[in-house]
Structure 1
Amino acid sequence: MARLLEVKGVSKRFLGLWALKAVHLHLEEGEILAVIGPNGAGKSTLLNVISGLLRPDGGGVFLQGEEVTHLPPEARTHRGLGRAFQIVQPLPELTVRENLLVGALFGKPGTSRREGEAWVERVLELTGLAPRAEALAGELTLLEDKRLELARALATRPKVLLLDEVMAGLRPKEAEEAIALVRRIRESGVAILFIEHLMPVVKALADRVVVLDYGEVIAEGPYEAVAQAERVREAYLGRRA
């Protein structure tokens, strides 16, 4: 399988403290990769570096073989990188359909309105938002908000989708529906990298897991193997040599 995303030796420092230390990871075509770790491990910093919100102090980010380390977020979006955030911020005065059309038209330069509208219809069906297409974004439930955040990212037609704790705040039944949606997104041809605190969600979704602690990768592999690794257990339980 082709590697769609590669992070090579990425480091990031804030006020003399290393938030990321020479992090390496990759995401392959058709894969769902989870990045987990204790609070303060560097997970959100990593996503911010990958998406272009932060510039690394070392290392590089490569998307479909092209280095994008010094490109702004919108340029990475144009090259096939989408991101859904934990805190949902739709355009509340626009309808669900209009929110998605904004993403479809600006996510890929040169997209005609007809092309954008056709893609929006596909995204509405994929995410289950078709019945709410004409509702104002400001009138949605929390679960619908989460679906809209995913849909807005999908509207840009990504090859790689970054998910930042999109299950946060959902009840168990809602989380099950969100898990099913993420699986449908993968089946549609999108590779996914997500960060998540809820281990049942990680176990249900991830093909592979990368564990961060103090900005370093301390384990990588299938969920069951990673969950039993001594360094991972120590990181989460707070027992350090």
Structure 2
Amino acid sequence: MKTFWVWLLSAVLLGSVAACGGGHDDHSTQRPFGVAGIMEGIWNGNLHSNLNGGDTGMFVIVTADGALSLITNDCQQISANIAANGPFFSGAGTTYLQTNCDGTDVTLVSPTASAGPVQPFQIVGQFDDRTGTAFANYTTADDSGTISFLNFYPDYFNEPGTLPRAAGAYSFTQTLTALSIDVNGILSYRDAAGQAFPGTLFVIDPTVDAYGMTLQVGSQTLTGLATLVDDGSGRDNDFLFAVADGNLAYSAVLKRD
């Protein structure tokens, strides 16, 4: 998974300018704050677990209405809702330790024998206007730790969230994993095992680079967020999504064919 995560962050960095020294100003200059306040946008950074002392890279999408979708480089996925009050924010959701990560079936061992793969999640944090970063504490049923929101990507506010922009065919190299999206947002996702799942992509706000997404896996409808990022090969070249429901969570990063 480290190769995947290094590639993902490199792809985003090649197509975006990371914020530094208070470079998060375009939020307030382009549109009014939503529920998520200054935290709205696309971030990367670091998640530190107090349980095992480990640090792992993470990628986060936060929408104006407070929906937060986070994935780490070891396939942990967090789905939550947050609300901001000035620089302070807090919220709750679910963390998933069993996930399908970029098309390869991965099952992570629970951190303790009594813990399940799905646990409640709480977050409390603060945005630092001086540095343009944010810091948060989190807790789950058997763990706690910190999340550092280190790099903010202003392209989130500069790229439109329209279905024709996302339409196309995507795949993950040397696997069966593939995704096709038409101009109406009807999609088909095939995982590394060759299983095909129907779904939909829909516009949350046509002025920002974030989409809502559903994926039908058997009788379960998984829901979550998706985004398009540029890489060294071209604009809108990489599609990232994270969806979940119950004990099932899928996430992937695929390159446009």
- TM-based fold match above 0.5: no
Name which one, 1 or 2, has greater alpha-carbon Rg.
1
Tell me which protein shows more helix as a share of its residues.
1
Which has the higher relative contact order, 1 or 2, with Cα contacts under 8 A spaced 6 or more apart?
Answer: 1
Normalising by structure 1, what TM-score?
A: 0.28
Tell me which protein shows more strand as a share of its residues.
2
